[in-house]
């Protein structure tokens, strides 16, 4: 099992990434604003179904990788840090958008809402790259089963993602209206997220190599 310190650091990384605007957040927030909370919740359940596909695929793959290549952690650590820095740039680059400046979406039936949420997540490279490049940094073979550790961390990420996105779904209209009246805070939100992602990238890059 992961140590409490590892679990807390992973939870922080997961929270920062969930708060970073991406296809999933933009979709569920836009759906909530355009079609109502019920549509947003149905879409979110579709997103989470897609999330479980990533969790189990990454868990099985990482177990095999650590058995075949004991030092794979070191290579993936730098890939993960580089990915976080890329996300930081995406948050602050000129023209970056906030999820609370949503796109217009037509009304859809519940089955289509669920399916679109599922596909939005399954085809979201941000989620796939997160698991492939970052999850291994929080898994230590000496702590026991890589499969169990990966599953615990994946379940943690899923729970955090669901809770945060559900909060956004339920409050999307009010938050979007507030940001519309205070556009400066859209830029502040992006720069705060970018700074947190960059700091986390440096923190993970400097993490000492773990024993195989």
Distance CA 131, CA 138 (A): 11
pLDDT band at 195 (very low <50, low <70, confident <90, very high): confident
The model's pLDDT over 19-44, given as tens digits with 9 standing for 90+, comes to: 776 667 777 887 888 888 888 899 99
Concatenating the DSSP letter of every residue in 11-73 gives: HHHHHHHHHS--HHHHHHHHHHHHH-HHHHHHHHHHHHHHHHHHHHHHHHHHHHHHHH-TTHH
Helix, strand, coil tally for the chain in percent (to 5): 80, 0, 20
The model's pLDDT over 87-144, given as tens digits with 9 standing for 90+, comes to: 677 666 766 655 555 556 677 888 989 998 898 787 766 676 667 667 777 877 777 7
Other CB atoms within a 10 A radius of the CB of residue 111 amount to 10
Please compute the mean of the pLDDT values over residues 190-206 and round it to a whole number: 71
Residue carrying structure tokens 């970052």: 134
Out of 62-71, 89-98, 164-173, the most confident range is: 164-173
* pLDDT at site 147: 78
pLDDT band at 49 (very low <50, low <70, confident <90, very high): very high
């Amino acid at each position: 099992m992961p140590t409490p310190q590892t679990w807390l650091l992973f939870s922080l990384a997961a929270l920062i990434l969930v708060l970073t605007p991406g296809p999933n957040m933009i979709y569920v927030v836009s759906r909530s604003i355009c079609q109502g909370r019920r549509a947003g919740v149905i879409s979110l359940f579709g997103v989470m179904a897609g999330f479980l596909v990533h969790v189990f695929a990454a868990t099985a793959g990482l177990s095999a990788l650590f058995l075949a290549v004991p030092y794979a952690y070191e290579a993936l650590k730098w890939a993960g840090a580089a990915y976080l820095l890329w996300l930081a740039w995406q948050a602050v680059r000129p023209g970056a958008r906030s999820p609370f400046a949503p796109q217009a979406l037509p009304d859809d039936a519940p089955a289509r809402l669920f399916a679109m949420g599922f596909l939005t997540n399954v085809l979201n490279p941000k989620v796939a790259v997160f698991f492939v490049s970052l999850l291994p940094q929080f898994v230590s073979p000496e702590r026991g089963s890589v499969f169990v550790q990966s599953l615990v961390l994946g379940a943690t990420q899923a729970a955090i993602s669901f809770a945060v996105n559900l909060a956004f779904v339920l409050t999307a209209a009010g938050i979007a209206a507030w940001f519309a009246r205070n556009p400066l805070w859209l830029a502040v939100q992006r720069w705060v997220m970018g700074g947190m992602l960059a700091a986390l990238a440096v923190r993970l890059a400097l993490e000492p190599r773990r024993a195989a």
